[in-house]
């Protein structure tokens, strides 16, 4: 098993280099020059995208509905930057503060999404996972932004084509799926619809590479790459426990020590949010292309019960495991 794990690590490193090189090489042919980026949404995901974009030299508009939301997003970014600066400038307080100030100077806070989009070459949406809400937002932005502006959604579960249908720029619309926590996670999935242009794909590959990410390409299919594989794995873990084949604690230990995963499936579901898992699987089960009625993502009685009780995982203080408090790092098993 050790040899398999070592080989797997080497293969992953090679795959990252090959994939990044292939996408970046293609991106050299035709790209839109991006100087300013607008990110709609200042929660954990939105703030994370704003941070990595600003750190990479882009000027970024962070947009949300209320000033209070923006203040929370700004706090998320400054706290994260302090951690980064502490590592980069361990014994240099002045250098550390200059780094933070430089990054923050490239971030503008706004509650006017249409004005922000009008002055940007790229708009990244990172709001609530609701199709109608996303469509309404993009319809308004479509009327305000220049026709050459690229629109992308950070959705992890909704069809990109369905979101894009609210706009008149189907060729300049794509998915750009970052992973949480954005500053630490290297992967970004670029999702192409049948209408997404080569220019848009190449531009997004170039932008994400500049952000220090490793982009991979995927068609507009439910779950894209990671979640298409990960969600059925989590659902089968639930069924394993529901059948009484193993305890959730033993399943978690087995996958960490036997497969080398950083978290077991139940720890991971608590981290993601049980309500989020339920939302994704219900959507796929009812209308996901190629997944309608598939037993891979059929409803789980255990998951249904926990969500009905309001036990969503870490964010609620209790899920499969109990936590000291919302956002606590360690669960009581």
Q: Tell me: the pLDDT tens digits for 167-207?
A: 999 999 999 999 989 999 999 999 999 999 999 999 999 99
Tokens representing 229 are 């594989």
H helices of 44-174, where?
44-55, 67-88, 93-105, 113-118, 131-144, 160-164
Catalytic positions, please? 156, 177, 189, 227
> What distances in angstroms separate CA 34 from CA 53, 149, 193, 196, 323, one per listed residue?
11, 9, 21, 17, 43
Rounded CA gap, 116 and 151, in Å?
13
Indicate the annotated binding residues for NAD(+): 41-46, 64, 129, 134, 156, 180, 315
Compute the average pLDDT of residues 46-59: 98
pLDDT score for 4 = 42
Nearest-angstrom CA–CA distance, 9 and 163:
36
DSSP string, 14-42: HHHHHHHHHHHHHHTSS-----EEEEE--
**Count of C-beta atoms within a 10 Å radius of residue 237:** 23
Please write the tens of the pLDDT for every residue from 306-330. Answer: 999 999 999 999 999 999 754 444 4
Structure tokens at 71: 């203040």
Which two three-digit tokens encode residue 325?
């408090």
Interval 238-269: pLDDT, tens? 999 999 999 999 999 999 999 999 999 999 99
Are the C-beta atoms of 319 and 325 separated by less than 8 Å? no
pLDDT digits (tens, 9 = 90+) for 131-163: 999 999 999 999 999 999 999 999 998 999 999
Binding residue positions: 41-46, 64, 80, 87, 129, 134, 156, 180, 315
What domains can you pick out in the chain, each with its CATH number? 36-219 (3.40.50.720), 227-316 (1.10.1040.10)
Contact 237, 303 (CB under 8 A): no
pLDDT at 1 over 70: no
Q: Annotated binding residues for CoA, as ranges?
A: 80, 87, 156
């Amino acid at each position: 098993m050790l040899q398999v794990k070592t080989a797997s690590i080497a293969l992953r490193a090679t795959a990252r280099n090959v994939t990044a090189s292939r996408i970046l090489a293609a991106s050299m042919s035709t790209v839109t020059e991006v100087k300013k980026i607008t990110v709609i949404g200042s929660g954990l995901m939105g703030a994370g995208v704003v941070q990595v974009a600003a750190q990479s030299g882009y000027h970024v508009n962070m947009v949300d509905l209320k000033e209070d939301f923006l203040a929370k997003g700004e706090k998320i970014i400054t706290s994260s930057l302090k951690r980064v600066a502490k590592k980069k400038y361990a014994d240099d307080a002045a250098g550390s503060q200059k780094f933070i100030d430089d990054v923050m100077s490239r971030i503008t806070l706004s509650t006017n999404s249409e004005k922000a989009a009008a002055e940007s070459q790229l708009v990244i949406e990172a709001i609530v996972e609701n199709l109608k809400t996303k469509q309404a937002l993009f319809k308004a932005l479509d009327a305000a932004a220049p026709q050459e502006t690229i629109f992308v959604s950070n959705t992890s579960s909704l069809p990109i084509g369905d979101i894009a249908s609210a706009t008149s720029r189907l060729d300049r619309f794509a998915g750009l799926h970052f992973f949480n926590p954005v500053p630490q996670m290297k992967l970004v999935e670029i999702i192409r619809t049948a209408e997404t242009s080569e220019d848009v794909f190449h531009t997004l590959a170039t932008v994400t590479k500049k952000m220090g990410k490793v982009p991979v390409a995927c068609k507009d299919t439910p779950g894209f790459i990671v979640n298409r594989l990960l969600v059925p794995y989590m659902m089968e873990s639930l069924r394993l426990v529901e059948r009484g084949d193993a305890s959730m604690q033993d399943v978690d230990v087995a996958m960490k020590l036997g497969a080398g995963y950083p978290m077991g499936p139940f720890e991971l579901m608590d981290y993601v949010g049980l309500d989020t898992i339920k939302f994704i699987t219900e959507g796929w089960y009812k209308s996901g292309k190629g997944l309608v009625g598939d037993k891979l993502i059929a409803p789980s009685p255990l998951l249904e019960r926990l969500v009905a009780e309001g036990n969503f995982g870490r964010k609620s203080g209790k899920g499969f495991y109990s936590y000291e408090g919302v956002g606590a790092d360690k669960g009581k098993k």
